[in-house]
A and B are shown apart, each in its own frame.
Chain A
Amino acid sequence: MIGQIIQAVLLGGYYALTAAGLTFMLQVMRVINLAHGSLSIAFAYAVYTLAFRYHINPFLGLLMVLPVAAAVGWALQRLLLERAARGGELLPILSTFGLAIVLDNVMFQIFGANAKGLAQFLGDLSFAAYELPGKLYVGKLPVWILAAAVCVLGGLHLMLTRTGLGRRIRATAMDPVTAGLVGVDARQSAAIAAAIAMMMVAMSGVALGFRTVFDAYAGGPQLLFAFEATIIGGARSLWGVFVGAMVLAFAQTGAAMLHPQAFLLGGHVMFLVVLFARLALGQGSLGTRLRQVVRGA
């Protein structure tokens, strides 16, 4: 039982990491990036390729991929989201969904149907574990992923509240037109935010590769997990994302204890319950509330 609770916490760490990027883009650009999961898988494949072809350690590979991810985020905002957002609410959804389909199938074309993982490149680390009192063993990698999630969310929080860039990003998220009137380049702030979000997406993709194996079509489920964690925790701070991720992981783990096939179902049902409880309580549109995450940060 304690072992399962620990596993759920560690799984929640991964969900927090993947939800962070999605939430941040939702808050600043007010766009749900439907290519979120596919992009994270693409970065995981990039690190896989570096490791497989050039024998580069995945941690080093991630460091090399991060600047690329930032550039991808910047380009995504400037070339796609900005233009789509001008055409109303539907087009960002449609264009990012189109992007997800392109990415998924390109990856399938390149890497085939076999699932890949990154843990194999880590040698002993992939099964190294910490020993807890009571003969409990906890894998080192999942613990590091949880720590990374805490660091990323904490770092993001500090950046948003303590730096000039953070202020500009928050101003852009709240009211891009007024941000311009006080001298903030809202387009630039949004592009920087997208670059930061995409670095988090790359980290979550690599984290997924460390935890388990992935294939070209794994992006869809990752998007759903990230979205569910975001909505469940859709409260007033970035820590809400963390809470949402934990709730999702516990719901999945708990459901799996009841019925071995109910793992995913448990998470989905928890998502719906939280969603409709909130709607029934009449706390307004979730989008409005989510935007307050950045404001309240």
Chain B
Amino acid sequence: MGLLSVAALDVRYGQFRAVRGVSLDIARGEVVALIGANGAGKTTFLRAVAGAVPVAGGTVRLDGRDVTDLPAQARVAAGLALVPEGRKLFADMTVEENLALGATVGRAGDWTMERVFATFPNLVKRRHARCGHLSGGEQQATAIGRALMSNPDVLILDEVSLGLSPLVVDQVYASLEGLMASGATIVLVEQALARAMAVASRAVCMLEGEIVLDKPMADTSREEITAAHFGLGRSKGARA
């Protein structure tokens, strides 16, 4: 069993099944790109994994431990951190205050406030600025830094490049490079397929709440992923 192991996860909004029996097993050190169209259930799935959305069925295990019934903050304490879509910073708090909140659970590890500032040097000058006044790139860096402050074993990045200019996206990914090289376990949602294929070691495609493709990045192709993305030639056989 991997570091993060999700089995038969179901999430419902009323009658609507947003996530349908999703199972996913992620080993330590993997960088998984979660790909899919808007509304495919990616964000709901990740928020359910992080404990922000109640699940209707299935289990989430972290390092073998069942965390399905734990609230979000207990999952953070167990080593799972989500950088939510839209960043969700506390806009009226400063960068430093947001980062300090990330350390609430007090997990031991290498990440300190100073290391976050070293990793995202663009934040140093903005240390005492309210997050609402930051640029998009600075906000994204703060959101990632805030998640890292909990010293997670698994880092989930939901749409880190949404709303950022290509140049800023390059900067954000450059800052993440060191993290990925250090053997961190990462799940990321990225709309730009080329970028996702470049950084991830494994591709997982979601369509209508289900996983329709799950392969090592080396064994798949842009065409196959695109087909899965749009539900073309959809077959369960595409699963590895």
Contact = CB atoms under 8 A, between A and B. Distances in A.
Judge: A and B partners, yes or no: yes
Interface of A: 164, 167-168, 170-171, 174-175, 177-187, 292, 295-296
Nearest to A174: B90
A164 B81 CA distance: 20
A183 B90 contact: no
A180 B100 contact: no
Given A181-B84, A183-B73, A183-B101, A292 B92 contact: yes
B71 to A, nearest CB: 6
Interface residues of B, number: 26
B92 A184 contact: no
B217 to A, nearest CB: 28
Given A171-B90, A175-B90, A292-B92, A180 B71 contact: yes
A185 to B, nearest CB: 5
Contacts of B73: 179-180, 183-186
Contacts of B91: 174, 295
B104 A180 contact: no
B145 to A, nearest CB: 11
Contacts of A183: 73, 76-77, 101-105, 150
A170 B82 contact: no
Q: Which of B90, B146, B150 has the most CB of A within 10 A?
A: B90
Contacts of A180: 51-52, 71-73, 76
9 contacts: A171-B90, A171-B93, A174-B91, A182-B102, A183-B76, A184-B101, A186-B73, A292-B92, A295-B90
Interface in B150-207: 150
A80 B105 CA distance: 27
A93 to B, nearest CB: 25
A170 B92 CA distance: 9
Q: Which of B72, B102, B146 has the most CB of A within 10 A?
A: B72
A251 B93 CA distance: 35
Nearest to B147: A182
A296 B92 CA distance: 6
B141 to A, nearest CB: 15
B148 to A, nearest CB: 11
Given A180-B71, A182-B146, A184-B73, A295 B92 contact: yes
B228 to A, nearest CB: 29
A187 B70 CA distance: 13
Interface in B34-61: 50-52
A81 B102 CA distance: 27
B50 A181 contact: yes
Contacts of B100: 164, 167
Interface in B77-92: 77, 81-82, 84, 88, 90-92
Contacts of B102: 182-183
Contacts of B104: 164, 168, 182-184
A181 B48 CA distance: 11
Contacts of A295: 90-93
A186 B52 CA distance: 12
Given A164-B104, A167-B101, A181 B90 contact: no
Nearest to B132: A295
Contacts of B150: 182-183
Given A179-B73, A182-B102, A183-B102, 17 more contacts: A164-B100, A164-B104, A167-B97, A168-B104, A174-B90, A174-B92, A175-B90, A177-B52, A180-B72, A181-B88, A182-B76, A182-B101, A182-B147, A182-B150, A183-B76, A183-B150, A295-B91
A86 to B, nearest CB: 12
B52 A170 contact: no
B135 to A, nearest CB: 20
Contacts of B88: 175, 178, 181
